[in-house]
Structure 1
Amino acid sequence: MILNHRLTRITVGILLLALAIAVLLPGLTGYSSLDGTVNARFAVINAPVDGEIDKAPPRIGTPVKEGETLATISNERVNRAVLASLRTDHRTALERVAALRRERDELVRLRDDLAGRLDIFRNATIASLERELQILQKRVEVSRAQEVVARVDLDRRQDLESKGIFTRKMVESAEAAGAAAGGELEISNLTVELLQERLSAVRKGIFIVGDGQNDVPYSRQRQDEVIVRIHDLNTRIAENETRAKQTDQQIAEEERRVLNLESATIPSPLDGVVWTRNVVSGSNVVLNSEVMRILDCRDLFVDILVPEVDYDEIYPGRDAEVRLFGRGDVFKGRVQAVKGSSAVVEKDSLAANEPEADERNARIRVTLAPSALNADFANFCQVGRTAQVRFSKRSLHVAQWIQSLWFNLF
């Protein structure tokens, strides 16, 4: 029979050998994984304010550019009570400033009027004292003349007494008249000095009465009261102006806050594609509620599982080749991280599920070099697609294999 023919047996043997080589060669020349998954992260877009969606976000699968408007939110229920209160305080402070300034202006006019009256009174007093001083100076001249007459009469009588014509009594009468004239002259001089002092004091604004005390006129007293009141009003005006300035700054801050809460525009934080959306036009949202998710195609990677015995052979930075299941294109990659089988893996921030490990498999993350996949927004950048990853061996590591086999046997 042909099956027992020698050539047939040789051919079958060669085919079986070729099949064995084809099966074993990939494992001898490198490491392969068939359970890889193309993966990426996404940006979670949350509502910045409470309100209602005016413009619906783009549909799932729509490419978006960085800065593009994704949705607009309006809120008609913003609390404006604080803003209204601040505006009332600001308006009240300004009204107080205006009223205090009017009162101050009236007091300034009253002060000027009192100052004018005081000037008139002082000028009149100065004029009166100057006239009295002139009168007293004339009296001094009269008293001086009378003193001269009395002195001449005394000399004459003393001369006549020596001749026996006048008696001693007549001489004594002349001496008394001379003393009286001298005293009158001295009194007049003292009075002149007193009036000169009063006149000098009045010119300086000090009014001296007969008992030596300061006599402040009513106009001067009233003027001092008005000046004190003006200083008090200036202080209150400064306080209210400061209050108005502070409330004006608070109003500006509150207006910005209210403006930010009245409406908000949500821009896209990156170039990507809409992965999910949770709202439509007219939906009500609350602060920090999730609105949509944008797939970030800038950094694509593949998560794979390999036997943990090859952990040391696959290290960060090692080059890899990635081929999508069903496609012949090969993409360059590089190992980003290597984790053991019991390591805790992240799940919430990834767009696709990581492969589930049911044995002692090391978790390998391979980042993909920039390629056409990063711009394939129509297919979500192939995220979730099964991929095959291969690492080439530099040697067969026969000695390592024998040592491992010896360790397992004994």
Structure 2
Amino acid sequence: MTDASNNTTSNPNTDQNASSDAQQDASMKSKRKKGLTIVAIVVAIALMIYLIWTFIFSNSVSTDNAYVNVESADISSMVNGQVAEVLVKDTQQVKQGDVLVRIDPRDAKIALAQAEAELAKAKRQFTQTSANSSALTSQIAISEDDIKSAQAQVAQAEVNYEQAQLEFSRRSQLSATGAISKEEFTKAQSAMNAAKAALNVSKATLAQAESKRKAAQSNLAANEALIKGANQASTPDVLVAQAKLDQAKLDLERTEIKAPLDGVVARRNVQVGQRIAQGTSMMKVVPLVNMYVDANFKESQLKDVRVGQKATLTSDLYGDDVEYTGTVVGFSGGTGSAFALIPAQNATGNWIKVVQRLPVRIQLDPEPLKKHPLRVGLSMEATIDLRSDTQTK
């Protein structure tokens, strides 16, 4: 009886132990299942991240070290003078051809009038030179007549001198015999001397006429050299005067300084009444189109970057909602530190390697700029698609 009662009392404990073990096993299985599920989720997330990186992020490079830039126009004076009007102010938008500054034009107008007078004078001198040729030709013809007349006078004087010599010789013989008086001998001698002097005078007159002819011929040759093969419009003096006139007209036009392109006025530093010299910078006109971005990528990012690749950009001004597109057009010739005012000196004992950045120029597409204009110096975030160049090919 005692054994039976003992057996009867031990069965409930055994059942409780078996039930507890079963619960523990179920709990362990549940925990193991949750652990495996978590591990599977982590593996799936890691695989997804790897796939996203492999197919999306590994095919692009990005940087937020990028800034808007543009080729701005430096407005400077091409003439000296006093500023009469300043028609624009900073931040004002202007169109190509708008007058920005007027310089007092009175000095330029005086120079223009002087150049016009010099041109008229040069043309008259050409006309006068042409007329001188005709006058010199006539003078040569007159000199020819004078030479012929002088030659005739020389011939006549030679005949007279020969006759006077014969008469003097005859009188000399008669004077020796006493057939004539000394007075007649003296007259014959004087007549011979007078005939000789007349011959010398006629020869001098002939030489003078020949000299005049040579002088007229030289003047004619020099005159013809000035106008030979030229007309009034092509003679050198007229061309020089015409060039001075063109320069004077250009200087007068330059007293009105106009905008070379569409843009916004910046850094205006000119005032009315200011005396400015040629080359003085007065302001800048910054265009709102043809802008580009200088994106400073790390050197470790540039292995696969090529000219022609496409880029997407966002601006801090408009946020991520506005996206710009562009194209890589070139790389800088050196890093920013290489072109610094004081370049880094790495050959030192305490050298620490610093990752360098190289400016990459990205030309912005014009359509997004028309809708959302940018300004020089604004911060941008640039992403270059490394696959775009191969897709384009």
Match of 1:308 in 2: 299
Query: Greater Rg, structure 1 or structure 2?
Result: 1
Matching residue's letter, 1:252: Q
Q: Following superposition of structure 1 onto structure 2, how do residues 41-190 of structure 1 map, counting pairs within 5 Å?
A: 41-74=71-104
Q: Are the structure 2 counterparts of residues 219 and 51 from structure 1 closer, same or farther at C-alpha, using a change threshold of 3 Å?
A: same
Amino acid at match of 2:263: G
Q: Is the 8 A contact 1:324 1:386 kept in 2?
A: yes
Identify if the C-alpha distance between structure 1 residues 60 and 250 changes in structure 2 by more than 3 Å, giving closer, same or farther.
Answer: same
Structure-2 residue corresponding to 1:336? 329
Cα distance in 2, alignment partners of residues 238 and 253 from structure 1: 28
**Which ranges in structure 1 are unaligned for 5 or more consecutive residues?**
1-5, 123-215, 348-357, 395-410
Is the partner of 1:316 in helix, strand or coil?
coil
**Is 1:318 the equivalent of 2:348?**
no
Q: Which has the higher contact order (CA 8 A, sep 6+)?
A: 1
1:100-128: per-residue Cα shift (whole Å, max 9, x none)?
Answer: 97787578568658869999xx9xxxxxx
Shift of 1:255: 3.6
Deviations 1:19-77 (A, max 9, x none): 99999999774343334322212121221111123342533333334444433434656
User: In the aligned structure 1, how far is the partner of 2:386 from the partner of 2:238?
Assistant: 73
Say which SS state the counterpart of residue 278 (structure 2) adopts: coil
* Alpha-carbon distance in 1 for matches of 2:331, 2:137: 82
Cα distance 1:332–1:48, how it changes in 2: closer, same or farther (>3 A)?
same
Partners of 1:360 and 1:114 lie apart in 2 by 96
CA contact (8 A) 1:93 1:241 kept: no
The equivalent of 2:378 in structure 1 is 385
Aligned to 2:212: 229
Q: Which of 366, 377, 383 matches 1:370?
A: 366
Whichever residue aligns with residue 242 of structure 2, its letter is A
**Taking structure 2 as the reference length, what is the TM-score of the superposition?**
0.51
Q: 2:160: which partner in 1?
A: none
Identity of aligned residues (%): 18
Whether 2:267 is the aligned partner of 1:276: answer yes
Conserved 8 A contact 2:144-2:213: no
Contact 1:52–1:284 (Cα < 8 Å) also in 2:
yes
Give, in whole Å, the separation in 1 of the partners of 2:271 and 2:52. 51
Q: How far 1:301 moved relative to its partner?
A: 1.5
Give the CA deviation at 1:321: 0.9
Q: 1:311 to 1:375 in 2, by over 3 A?
A: same
Task: Give the TM-score of the pair, scaled to structure 1.
Answer: 0.49
User: For the Cα contact (< 8 Å) 1:301–1:367, is it kept in 2?
Assistant: yes
Paired residue type of 1:279: V
The one-letter code of the counterpart of 2:218 is: T
Give the Cα–Cα distance (whole angstroms) in 2 for the partners of residues 313 and 35 of structure 1: 19
The count of aligned residue pairs is 276
Q: Displacement, 1:278?
A: 2.3
| Aligned equivalents of 1:220, 1:117: Cα separation in 2 | 7
Find the aligned partners of 2:355 and 2:47 in 1 and give their Cα distance: 27
